[in-house]
Amino acid sequence: MLIDTHCHLDFKDFDPDREEVLKRARQAGVGIIINAASSLEGSIRSVELAENHDFIYAAVGIHPHESPSSDEKAFARLKSLARSKKVVAVGEVGLDYYRQTVPGVTQKEVFRKFIGLSKELSLPLIIHDRDAHADMLAILKQEFKSGKADGVMHCFSGDAAFLRQCLELGLFISFTCNLTFKNAANLRAVAREVPLDRILLETDAPFLAPQAHRGKRNEPAYITFLAQELSNIHSLTAEDIGRLTTHNANKLFRLNLMENAAIAYEIRDSLYLNITNRCTNDCDFCVRSSTDFVKGHNLKLEKEPSLEEILAAVRNPDKYKEIVFCGYGEPTLRLDVLKETACALKKKAKTIRLVTNGHGNLINKRPIAGELAGLIDKVSVSLNMDSAAKYNKRCKPGFGGRTFEEIKRFIAQCKAAGIETEATCLDLPETNLKKCRAIIENELGVKFRLRRYNVVG
Ligand code: SF4
Ligand SMILES: [Zn+2]
Ligand SMILES: [Zn+2]
CATH number of domain containing 211: 3.20.20.140
On whether both 112 and 161 belong to a single domain, the answer is yes
On whether both 67 and 167 belong to a single domain, the answer is yes
Residue 283 CB–ligand 1 contact under 6 Å: yes
Measure 216 CA to ligand 1 centroid, in angstroms.
Answer: 50
Ligand at shortest distance from the CA of 407: 1
Model confidence pLDDT, tens digit, residues 87-115:
999 999 999 999 888 999 999 999 999 99
Task: Specify the long-range contacts of residues 220-223, CB closer than 8 Å, at least 24 apart.
Answer: 220/4, 220/7, 220/9, 220/21, 220/22, 220/24, 220/25, 220/28, 220/30, 220/33, 221/21, 221/24, 221/25, 221/27, 221/28, 221/30, 222/28, 222/177, 223/2, 223/4, 223/25, 223/28, 223/30, 223/177
Residue 380 CB–ligand 1 contact under 6 Å: no
Domain hosting 325: range is 264-451
Model confidence pLDDT, tens digit, residues 198-242:
999 999 999 999 999 999 999 999 999 999 999 999 999 999 999
Residue 305 CB–ligand 1 contact under 6 Å: no
Q: What is the CA radius of gyration of the chain?
A: 25
On whether both 181 and 316 belong to a single domain, the answer is no
User: Domain boundary residue among 226, 253, 280?
Assistant: 253
**What is the pTM assigned to this prediction?**
0.84
Residue 279 CB–ligand 1 contact under 6 Å: yes
On whether both 181 and 275 belong to a single domain, the answer is no
Ligand at shortest distance from the CA of 96: 2
Residue 357 CB–ligand 1 contact under 6 Å: yes
User: Domain boundary residue among 201, 234, 253?
Assistant: 253
Q: How many domains in the chain?
A: 2
Ligand at shortest distance from the CA of 5: 3
Mutate to test the pocket of ligand 1, among 278, 357, 359, 391 (most ligand atoms within 8 A of CB): 357
Query: In this model, does residue 245 exceed pLDDT 70?
Result: yes
On whether both 7 and 64 belong to a single domain, the answer is yes
On whether both 135 and 202 belong to a single domain, the answer is yes
| 184 within domain boundaries | yes
Per-residue pLDDT averaged across 370-387, rounded? 97
| 200 within domain boundaries | yes
Query: In this model, does residue 457 exceed pLDDT 90?
Result: no
| 259 within domain boundaries | no
On whether both 249 and 382 belong to a single domain, the answer is no
Mutate to test the pocket of ligand 1, among 274, 275, 281 (most ligand atoms within 8 A of CB): 281
| 148 within domain boundaries | yes
Query: In this model, does residue 455 exceed pLDDT 80?
Result: no
On whether both 317 and 215 belong to a single domain, the answer is no
Query: Could you tell me where the DSSP H helices lie in 234-283?
Result: 238-253
Measure 398 CA to ligand 3 centroid, in angstroms.
Answer: 52
Measure 147 CA to ligand 2 centroid, in angstroms.
Answer: 23
Mutate to test the pocket of ligand 1, among 286, 332, 396 (most ligand atoms within 8 A of CB): 286
pLDDT band at 289 (very low <50, low <70, confident <90, very high): confident
User: Domain boundary residue among 199, 233, 253?
Assistant: 253
Measure 231 CA to ligand 3 centroid, in angstroms.
Answer: 23
On whether both 176 and 76 belong to a single domain, the answer is yes
Residue 99 has what pLDDT? 85
Query: Could you tell me where the DSSP H helices lie in 155-306?
Result: 160-168, 185-192, 223-233, 238-253
DSSP 183: T
On whether both 152 and 269 belong to a single domain, the answer is no
Please count the residues of the chain. 457
Please, which residues have CB less than 5 A from ligand 2, an ion?
Answer: 92, 128
DSSP bridge partners of 447: 422
334, 452, 190, 266 alpha-carbon torsion, rounded to 10°: -20
Ligand at shortest distance from the CA of 383: 1
The H or E element that residue 440 is part of is none
Q: Any idea what the CATH number is for the domain that residue 391 is in? A: 3.20.20.70
Model confidence pLDDT, tens digit, residues 2-58:
999 999 999 999 999 999 999 999 999 999 999 999 999 999 999 999 999 999 999
Measure 283 CA to ligand 1 centroid, in angstroms.
Answer: 6
- Ligand 1 atom index nearest CA of 382: 1
Residue 456 has what pLDDT? 66
| 326 within domain boundaries | yes
Per-residue pLDDT averaged across 285-308, rounded? 92
| 88 within domain boundaries | yes
Please, which residues have CB less than 5 A from ligand 3, an ion?
Answer: 204
Model confidence pLDDT, tens digit, residues 394-437:
999 999 999 999 999 999 999 999 999 999 999 999 999 999 99
Query: Could you tell me where the DSSP H helices lie in 82-184?
Result: 104-121, 133-143, 160-168
| 456 within domain boundaries | no
On whether both 280 and 387 belong to a single domain, the answer is yes
Per-residue pLDDT averaged across 248-259, rounded? 95
Could you tell me if 412 and 436 are in contact, meaning their C-beta atoms sit under 8 angstroms apart?
no
On whether both 176 and 317 belong to a single domain, the answer is no
Measure 282 CA to ligand 1 centroid, in angstroms.
Answer: 6
Residue 453 has what pLDDT? 76
| 258 within domain boundaries | no
Q: Please tell me the residue having the least CA distance from ligand 1 atom 6.
A: 283
Mutate to test the pocket of ligand 1, among 274, 277, 280, 288 (most ligand atoms within 8 A of CB): 288
